[in-house]
Amino acid sequence: MRVVWAFLRRTGTALLVLFGVSILIFVIARVIPGDPARVALGPNATADQVAALRLALRLDDPVPLQYLHYMAGLVRGDLGISLYTNRPVTTDIAQFLPASLELIFTAGLLMVAIGLPLGIIAARFRGRWPDHVVRVVSLTGVSAPSFVWAVAFMLIFGYWLKWFPISQRLHDSFQVAPVTGFLLIDTLLAGDGAAWRDAARHLVLPAFALALAGIGQAARLTRANMIETYDRPYIEMARAFGFAPGRIARRYAFRPSLIPSLTIIGLDFAAMLGSAFLVEQVFGWPGLSRYGVQVILRKDLNAIVGTVLVIAAMFILVNIIVDLLTVLFNPRIRLAKGGKA
């Protein structure tokens, strides 16, 4: 019951945060220099054409009135028309968001599947060569931003070794009907194994480039937390009883160390949606982050606000999930105020 109340409280807080974000980004988008109507119509448009578009977009109304009109449409599920694509913003988001989510989910899986075991190995062999190797790898991963690794991977594994493709999500020779927007799922639904392998190969380089910093962060945090846990008395007791080192590492040292690592991993995962735009730009990945950059450059007000709201909502949702997992995994948090799980 306590978990339910925690979820309801966080949901209420999330709605307030989204409301504040909507006001902030709406005002910022309006005060950016430049006329959106003139940018959309181009330099050859007449003054009458620009004035007509400004009237259609309600750009001549006071900013508070523009915001109220926008929120009225948002409640109905209408984010307006994008001046960049001349389509509803909801249609654009529905098209580009699955590509970003597929990339981010894959990068998050790599971050957990590689970063946590590396941290466990480093803590178990503290002060020995596996620990030194993991520390060098993790420090290398966090020392450069994702786009640097994206360019390096493209040059090494794309141009030089030619192991992986370096652009798009699927080769033009494959035609897969969009069902979920996730190509790894849609190719399986279509029963096309060759297309699935091609989609997976296209995903490898951008996912690793996006995940490398998170892998290093997860490894470092897991190592530090487990080393602290190894100094606890119950670990000494487990050693005295003759438990195998692997069992001590997995069951008695790793699980208590997971909570702090889980929080940081959740934040890194949520931040990927906002930081993926450079990786998507390098690899020509048709995702929401790359779309967001394009609409910002064209001062597409409706698309800017809609994109930022979606990214903010995803960030908040991931934080809520992390908080709930923390409550579920740690009984001390569930019972902190005398409640019952």
- Of 311 and 9, more confident: 311
DSSP string, 142-153: HTS-HHHHHHHH
Can you tell me the mean pLDDT for 156-160? 90
Nearest to 186 by CA among 174, 173, 196, 171: 196
pLDDT at 161 over 70: yes
What per-residue confidence (pLDDT) applies to 102? 92
What per-residue confidence (pLDDT) applies to 52? 81
Residue type, 218: A
Q: State the average pLDDT for the chain.
A: 82
The Cα–Cα gap between 59 and 237 comes to 70
What per-residue confidence (pLDDT) applies to 198? 92
Report the range of poorest mean pLDDT among 49-53, 110-114, 117-121. 49-53
Can you tell me the mean pLDDT for 222-250? 76
Can you tell me the mean pLDDT for 34-53? 73
pLDDT at 312 over 90: no
pLDDT at 132 over 80: yes
pLDDT band for 331, please (50, 70, 90 cuts): low
Q: Report how far Cα 220 is from the mean position of its chain's Cα atoms.
A: 20
Query: How many H helices and E strands in the chain?
Result: 16, 0
pLDDT at 106 over 50: yes
pLDDT at 98 over 50: yes
pLDDT at 337 over 70: no
pLDDT at 124 over 60: yes
Place of tokens 């181009």: 42
pLDDT band for 341, please (50, 70, 90 cuts): very low
Q: Report how far Cα 144 is from the mean position of its chain's Cα atoms.
A: 18
What percentage of the chain reaches a pLDDT higher than 90? 14
pLDDT at 75 over 60: yes
Can you tell me the mean pLDDT for 51-74? 80
User: 48: buried, middle or exposed (CB in 10 Å: 19+, 13-18, 0-12)?
Assistant: exposed
pLDDT at 339 over 50: no
pLDDT band for 6, please (50, 70, 90 cuts): low
Domain residue ranges of the chain, discontinuous segments joined by +: 2-75, 89-297
pLDDT at 340 over 50: no
pLDDT at 332 over 70: no
Nearest to 308 by CA among 155, 93, 159, 11: 93
* CA dihedral sign, ordered 104, 107, 113, 115: negative
Contacts of 142 (CB under 8 A, 6+ apart): 213, 216, 217, 220
User: 95: buried, middle or exposed (CB in 10 Å: 19+, 13-18, 0-12)?
Assistant: middle
pLDDT at 327 over 50: yes
The Cα–Cα gap between 66 and 59 comes to 7
What per-residue confidence (pLDDT) applies to 284? 86
Report the range of poorest mean pLDDT among 46-50, 158-162, 212-216, 224-228. 46-50
Q: Phi-psi region for residue 80, left (φ > 0), alpha (ψ -120 to 50) or beta?
A: left
Q: Each residue of 262-289: pLDDT tens digit?
A: 777 887 887 787 778 888 888 988 888 8
The hierarchical CATH code for the domain 89-297 is: 1.10.3720.10
